[in-house]
Amino acid sequence: MAQTHKNGVFLGSKALGINLFACLADAHPGVDWTIIHPDDAGDQRNCFAGFRAVAEQRGVAFHLARNQREARALLAGLSPDIGFVCGWYWLFSPGDIAAFPDGLWGIHNSLLPKFRGGAPLVWAIIAGEPEVGSTVFRISPGMDDGDVLMQVRVAISPNEDIADALRRIEAGLLERLGSQWGALLDGRATLVSQDESQATYCGQRTDEDGGINWTKPALALHDFIRAQAPPYPGAWTWLGAKRLRIFRALPFAGIYFGTPGQVLRRTGESVLVACGANTALELRSVLCEGESLPQAPSAVIRSVKDRLSLSPPAAA
């Protein structure tokens, strides 16, 4: 029997999107794909050239959408049957979703129904979750509440950061998504409804939300810092008139009395800073404003008289 072909649209960007598109395209021969890439030239993670190269190699139509209006016009002309989203900037209206009779599917980096909303993986690590993951689900008009096709679960130890979690999540997605996508297209997939009683939500984050409040205990700040480590911009504090981004830190094992934000001591390359509840945090890697590469904290914080703070010094 002849293979029934479907029109598929991949909407997205970023390196993970390239890898997931290749996985989907290889998983089932019955989809004629088109890629729509958002205009994200201002994002340092931009992978426009990579997406265009993949489209050329595979003989797939490729379009750049400069805004939501252009994206909707492209979709209207394509009459897609099914779609997949990874790294998209604009919200989908009920009408946008209804344009995909076989569903618009996407990933959400949480174990839905937990951590619905913005920056879910960041919030999960801030919360100290020992297990994180990603969900492939059907996009719906609600907030991340559609039926689940598959989930990837990964353990994250207390001293691992968001980059470690992202690597494991991507590996899990690439290992399993192809077979699950093929089952979906062949009508063999088992979808799971989300349990609304277990739903939790999180808000969008901006760089300003990364400010370190030194009155919090060291363990909470350790989670806060590792949740925003590269490839994210990093949690930050003020050192005098310059912002200092903290990429890696570890809680001090014992009790340490000090004023929150006070530099307690400099040992080798590391610096110990007082936190709330008589705790301390050992800074291991920092990036000072104006520099391009991370540095040893002791190369930047030069005196125990220094203070780190949530606010810049008052103007004279």
Report the DSSP beta bridge partners of residue 9: 34, 83
Buried b (16+ CB within 10 A) or exposed e, 222-242: bbbbbbbbeebebbbbbbeee
Q: Rounded distance, CA 215 to CA 221, Å?
A: 9
Residue 14 tokens, joined: 């970023």
Looking at residue 1, what is its pLDDT?
Answer: 35
Looking at residue 29, what is its pLDDT?
Answer: 87
Buried b (16+ CB within 10 A) or exposed e, 272-310: bbbbeeebbbbbbbbbbeeeeebbebbebbeeeebbbbe
**pLDDT tens figures, 139-191:** 999 999 999 999 999 999 999 999 999 999 999 999 999 999 999 999 999 99
Cα 247 to the center of its chain, rounded Å: 16
Which has the closest alpha carbon to 44: 19, 85, 13? 13
Q: Rounded distance, CA 247 to CA 161, Å?
A: 9
Report the DSSP beta bridge partners of residue 12: 86
pLDDT grade for 207, boundaries at 50, 70 and 90: very high
**pLDDT tens figures, 76-95:** 999 999 999 998 888 899 99
pLDDT at 266 over 90: yes
DSSP 8-state secondary structure symbol assigned to residue 216: S
Rounded to a whole number, what is the largest CA-CA distance in the chain?
80
pLDDT at 305 over 70: yes
Domains of the chain, CATH where assigned: 1-102 (3.40.50.170), 107-205 (3.40.50.170), 207-309 (3.10.25.10)
Q: Where are the beta strands (DSSP E) in the chain?
A: 6-12, 31-38, 61-65, 82-86, 104-108, 116-117, 131-138, 148-155, 201-202, 235-239, 242-251, 263-267, 270-275, 279-288, 308-309
Q: Rounded distance, CA 280 to CA 256, Å?
A: 6
pTM, whole model, 2 decimals? Answer: 0.93
